[in-house]
Amino acid sequence: MDQPAISDYGFLSDCRSGALVGRDGSVDWWCPDRFDAPSVFGRLLDPDAGHWRIAPLAASRVERAYRPDTLVLRTVHHTPEGSVAVTDALAAELGARSHQLGMNSPAVLLRVVEGLTGRVRMHLDFAPRPEYGLLTPYLHEQPDGGVLAACGPVQLVLRGDGQALRVDGDRVAHTFEVAAGQTVGFDLAYAPVYGAPPARLDPVTTLADTVQAWEGYREIHTYPGRYPDLVRHSATVLTGLTYTRSGAVAAALTTSLPEEIGGDRNYDYRYSWLRDFAATIRAFWVAACPHEASRLFAWVTRSIGRVGEDPVPVLFGLEGERDISEHEVQHLRGYLDSRPVRFGNDAWRQRQLDVPGEVISAVWRMRHYLGDTFDEELREMVLGLTEQVARTWQLPDHGAWEIRGAERHYLSSKVFCWTAMNRAVELAPRLGDRADPRRWAAIRDEIRASILREGWNERIGAFTGAFGSPELDASALYLPVVHFLPASDPRMRSTIEVVERELGTEDGLVRRWDSDPAGFLPCSFWLVECLAMAGERDRAEALFERVIGHANDVGLLSEQIDLATGAQLGNMPQALSHIGLVAAAWRLSDPATD
């Protein structure tokens, strides 16, 4: 099965949905209704699951880049006949600016072809396959030269400036020429089949307006630290993964891209993880995006609701859905035959004891912004989560890596239980009469003693992944980040050295555990932070430079890197990787500032 590399894809977003377009000019992933909706183009996971390609007929040399501070992608094809640029975007609502992005997105994919030199023959191949490739639509030629594709719950209308598109069986195959100075625009509009018809937009005018919408968004945000271009771009990617209607941030755009080619750790990441919440808040705050941070905060409070006896789910749907039960599909072959392909994610059922600590830590970070007195919902959430930790911290769980096996006493889970109690004590004056900081402090100290006693392995010379275990786990690098121990503490210094020696690689990547076959980008950025906090600024900076070298040509990071080939692996773009980049850059700017 011949498929582009994961790093070949560029990311488009309208803050409602996202698309992936390859260097070959093919849109191979688009779920137009929202990030986690069924795809209409799914060739990413199967060659027969739909695509839309526009590219020269002749072989071409490709250069591409985003328009600055946008997710509008310009790809230049150089051919023997001449050069042509294809600019791709998901349309913003007409006149949308700043935080309005995505509120009323028209669900239109824009592709504008511009002749640069010579006269280039172009080919358009349009083969929509809704419902993840299960449906093949009827295609109807329209009086205006466009094509209507309709089946199941989906209708799509494809139009081109001055182009009479013709149906060829179950697809549109169209050839046209573009000369230097000539522009041909295409727009593909989606709508539910039983609702209003798809929007009709002028592609060239709407593209210009979409660029302005993104530029206006970034103009209101400033970042004073090091690597400003990288941080601004990662903040733009995180904004692109934000479902604006609710404020939730999707962990990634895709589902089932494998952690190992041919392996079965292929999960659906199109949801919002509470574990990422505190780190996302931190990244938005660092990148001077407080509005996004506050909207994400409101989403979390509403999604969690009243905290009861049951564990708080680790993830939710983008509008706060709790039950996102997982199922495997048989009709999709998977990326490079990596099966199974999964929709939904059963990690929501797991007990993961670090989650309350992540949320309470985020509340603490935003405490000055939230005010001296919390509103009822926020106060009840923090109180409920704190008491849940007090009741359950001694239980085993599935851990930060969501292992689908027996529960254990994972170090990182216990550390975030300590974090929860530590931050709750500091937040107590804002929590009303039911706050019990003296009892919470006693529990906090008990958790700390347990971690220092059971989590440290004298023979290994490091904090290990689980109590009583000799197995290393890179999540131990997070201890200084949450101020459990300073990076200069002898035990922490030893842990950093052992993790770097045993789990690190020559090019700066860090594996999560010893048997992990790939480098995990977030852990690699955690090591950068640890080295900077330990006073090793030069080593930290050199490591940061090596890690960011694994981004693709348009600055996108997936989840992992294949150690043998250097190829990107896992779902992409991965929010946690870009969050790690922002945090590491800020740490290099000022190691003492969170």
Ordered DSSP codes for 268-334: B--SEEGGGHHHHHHHHHHTT-HHHHHHHHHHHHHHH-S--SSPPPSEE-TT-------EEESS---
Here the tokens at position 503 are: 């789990």
What DSSP element (H or E) covers 385?
A: helix 376-392
Distance CA 323, CA 314 (A): 11
Here the tokens at position 488 are: 């200069």
Distance CA 506, CA 242 (A): 34
Residue 211 lies in a domain: yes
**Do residues 277 and 398 share a domain?**
yes
Residue 533 lies in a domain: yes
- Sign of the C-alpha dihedral computed for residues 479, 484, 486 and 490 taken in this order: negative
Residue 286 lies in a domain: yes
Alpha carbon of residue 26 to chain centroid? 21
**Do residues 193 and 320 share a domain?**
no
Q: Is the Cβ–Cβ distance between 556 and 10 less than 8 Å? A: yes
Residue 521 lies in a domain: yes
**Do residues 138 and 118 share a domain?**
yes
Residue 1 lies in a domain: no
**Do residues 538 and 448 share a domain?**
yes
* 3-state percent breakdown (helix, strand, coil) of the chain, nearest 5: 35, 25, 45
Here the tokens at position 199 are: 């929007």
Burial (CB count within 10 angstroms: exposed 0-12, middle 13-18, buried 19+), residue 197: exposed
157: domain CATH number is 2.70.98.10
Of 483, 478, 490, 504, nearest to 413 (Cα)? 478
Instruction: Write phi, then psi, for 583 (nearest 5 degrees).
Output: -65, -40
Here the tokens at position 253 are: 């755009």
**Do residues 267 and 172 share a domain?**
no
What range defines the domain where residue 36 resides?
Answer: 6-219
Of the three residues 170, 191, 219, the one that is the final residue of a domain is: 219
Residue 395 lies in a domain: yes
Structure-token match 């719950």, residue found: 153
At 458 the three-state DSSP class reads coil
Distance CA 296, CA 38 (A): 24
Residue type, 135: L
Distance CA 172, CA 152 (A): 19
**Do residues 194 and 240 share a domain?**
no
Q: Look at the chain and report how many structural domains it folds into.
A: 2
At 423 the three-state DSSP class reads helix
Q: Is the Cβ–Cβ distance between 166 and 141 less than 8 Å? A: yes
Could you say which DSSP state residue 459 is in? T
Of the three residues 176, 198, 219, the one that is the final residue of a domain is: 219
Query: pLDDT tens per residue, the chain (594 residues)?
Result: 479 999 999 999 999 999 999 999 999 999 999 999 999 999 999 999 999 999 999 999 999 999 999 999 999 999 999 999 999 999 998 877 656 676 789 999 999 999 999 999 999 999 999 999 999 999 999 999 999 999 999 999 999 999 999 999 999 999 999 999 999 999 999 999 998 889 999 999 999 999 999 988 777 778 889 999 999 999 999 999 999 999 899 999 999 999 999 999 999 999 999 998 888 888 888 887 767 777 788 899 999 999 988 999 999 999 999 999 999 999 999 999 999 999 999 999 999 999 999 999 999 988 988 888 899 999 999 999 999 999 999 999 999 999 999 999 999 999 999 999 999 999 999 999 999 999 999 999 999 999 999 999 999 999 999 999 999 999 999 999 999 999 999 999 999 999 999 999 988 899 999 999 999 999 999 999 999 999 999 999 999 999 999 999 999 999 999 999 999 999 999 999 999 999 999 999 998 877
- pTM given for the model: 0.97
Of the three residues 219, 246, 263, the one that is the final residue of a domain is: 219
Q: Is the Cβ–Cβ distance between 421 and 440 less than 8 Å? A: yes
**Do residues 281 and 190 share a domain?**
no
398: domain CATH number is 1.50.10.10
Q: Is the Cβ–Cβ distance between 151 and 136 less than 8 Å? A: yes
Exposure string over 410-441, b if 16+ CB within 10 A, otherwise e: bbbbbbbbbbbbbbbbebbebbeeebbbeebe
**Do residues 250 and 371 share a domain?**
yes
Q: Is the Cβ–Cβ distance between 474 and 523 less than 8 Å? A: yes
Q: Is the Cβ–Cβ distance between 160 and 146 less than 8 Å? A: yes
**Do residues 245 and 161 share a domain?**
no
**Do residues 240 and 375 share a domain?**
yes
Residues near 285 by beta carbon (within 8 Å), at least 6 away in sequence: 293, 365, 366
Alpha carbon of residue 386 to chain centroid? 28
Could you say which DSSP state residue 466 is in? B
Distance CA 468, CA 484 (A): 19
**Do residues 291 and 325 share a domain?**
yes
Q: How, if at all, do strands 9-13 and 171-179 pair?
A: unpaired
Residue 257 lies in a domain: yes
**Do residues 167 and 285 share a domain?**
no
Q: Is the Cβ–Cβ distance between 401 and 512 less than 8 Å? A: yes
Residue 594 lies in a domain: no
Give alpha helix (H) positions in 80-186: none
